[in-house]
Amino acid sequence: MQPDLLRRYAAPVPRYTSYPTAPHFHDGVTGETYSGWLEAQDGKAPLSLYLHVPFCDRLCWYCGCHTKQTRRYQPVADYVNALLQEISLVAARLPKRARISAIHFGGGSPTIVSPADLSRIRHALDRHFNMDPAAEISVEIDPGYVDAERLSAWRDIGMTRASIGVQDFDPAVQQAINRPQTFEQTQRILHLLRTYGVGGINLDVVYGLPHQTIESLGRTLELSLSMAPDRFAIFGYAHVPWMKKHQTLIDETALAGIETRFEMQQMIAQRLLAAGYLSIGIDHFARPGDSLAAALDQKEVKRNFQGYTTDQAPALIGLGASAIGRTEGGYVQNIVATGEYMRAVSEGRLPIAKGFALGPVDRAIGEAIESLMCHFAFSVRRLKERYGAAAEVVQASAARIHQQDPDGITRFDGDHFEVLPQGQIFVRTIAAGFDQYFGRGTARHSVAV
């Protein structure tokens, strides 16, 4: 990879887990707006749920999530009560009792929730929704702060997939990001999960962390492969101290440059492909027998705020402080501050802070960008079948991007737009060329490699 090419395409751009991206959400979308969108839902269509738990036993300095550290359980218990109230508020506004096809518990550290409170959450979901027996219930797990009792409680509520944060096993890197976690701890949790019959295990690895080298990252990857997970999620560290003040505790002089980050990403991809994993989008890898690999084969992979998914539900309901959801009407995000969120639901209000109402052009561009992020290609003809004249904006952008492509990394024949293999690592940058909102406002982003 030529350095000038790398620098040109590695400029800061969004990760495109939504379109428009979250910095363009605004307070013109309110709880009343969202209520109308919920009431207009197709009662026959399934829903997926995202439940956010914004608490951790420790604060990892690299983290970009909305979370905070607590050493007492009472704030978590109070928050669970509010979460139960929000579940009731949302369910009451749906046109009928909805079928749930997928649930994702994120954070923070969802496993901070006690077994008793976890059971209350599951009972509330069963009381208000019809749970599909085949629903995937996925949970984000920090191996340093979970035990057999809590894992058995997650098993009892139906957990089918666990996403385990590894990040890096090197002690120097762990110290630099305030996340001590031994390989033995992680291995023990994987063994327990398999003993409990959890059928899907994901490992998260991060490159570009302080003091990380190609060699140390290679050792982390070797240890991770020895545990034979079903999927890997490989994330480039997003250094955004202007958004996450705790990241100022990270020594910026110890962070890798663009060229080294690229080498790290390429090394990881090569090793995982050599180990038999299939590449999914920009940062996921799956075993051939995994459901995500099957979805890739059928071109049914989707992308949302949790990353790549097999979930085909047309609407995602976000529950909890800062949670983001999407309906046919558009995106909504809950109040971020937990105290204000809890106050809103205690007063019987949907706790919406902001959102974005989608028009036909937004939907056409959003589908094109999602298809690029998942499959590196899209069809203008298909977009026109779904969105009519609105898709002409996408067609014009595709022609412009291809005509202005000096490096030959795209192909466009008037219908089929494709990012060629040598350019796929830069698909975020190419997607930004279709984004009508990119560059507006003051939003800042992490580098694209």
- Residues 332-391 pLDDT 10s: 999 999 999 999 999 999 999 999 999 999 999 999 999 999 999 999 999 999 999 999
Nearest to 328, CA basis, from 38, 44, 25: 38
Burial annotation 243-282 (CB, 10 A radius, 16+ → b, else e): ebebbeebeeeebbebebbbbbbebbbebbeeeebbbbbb
Q: What is the pLDDT of residue 244?
A: 87
Say if residues 268 and 205 touch (Cβ distance below 8 Å).
yes
Q: Which residues of the chain have pLDDT under 70?
A: 1-2, 441-449
Neighbours of 100 (CB within 10 A): 20
Residue whose pair of structure tokens reads 């994901």 in the numeric block: 202
Q: What is the pLDDT of residue 399?
A: 98
Neighbours of 299 (CB within 10 A): 10
Instruction: Give Cα 428 to chain centroid, integer Å.
Output: 15
Q: What is the pLDDT of residue 1?
A: 61
Q: Which domains does the chain have, with CATH numbers?
A: 17-319 (3.80.30.20), 360-438 (1.10.10.920)
Q: What is the pLDDT of residue 442?
A: 59
- The region that residue 119 occupies, defined by phi over 0 for left and psi between -120 and 50 for alpha, beta otherwise, is alpha
Q: What is the pLDDT of residue 441?
A: 65
Q: What is the pLDDT of residue 10?
A: 79
Instruction: Give Cα 15 to chain centroid, integer Å.
Output: 10
Q: What is the pLDDT of residue 446?
A: 61
Q: What is the pLDDT of residue 58?
A: 86
Residue whose pair of structure tokens reads 């969004």 in the numeric block: 14
Q: What is the pLDDT of residue 159?
A: 97
Neighbours of 104 (CB within 10 A): 25
pTM of the model as a whole: 0.93
CA angle 217, 218, 221 (to 5 degrees): 85
Q: What is the pLDDT of residue 222?
A: 98
Q: What is the pLDDT of residue 240?
A: 87
H or E stretch at 122 = helix 115-128
Token pair, residue 376, equals 């590196």
Q: What is the pLDDT of residue 11?
A: 80
Give the type of residue at 447. V
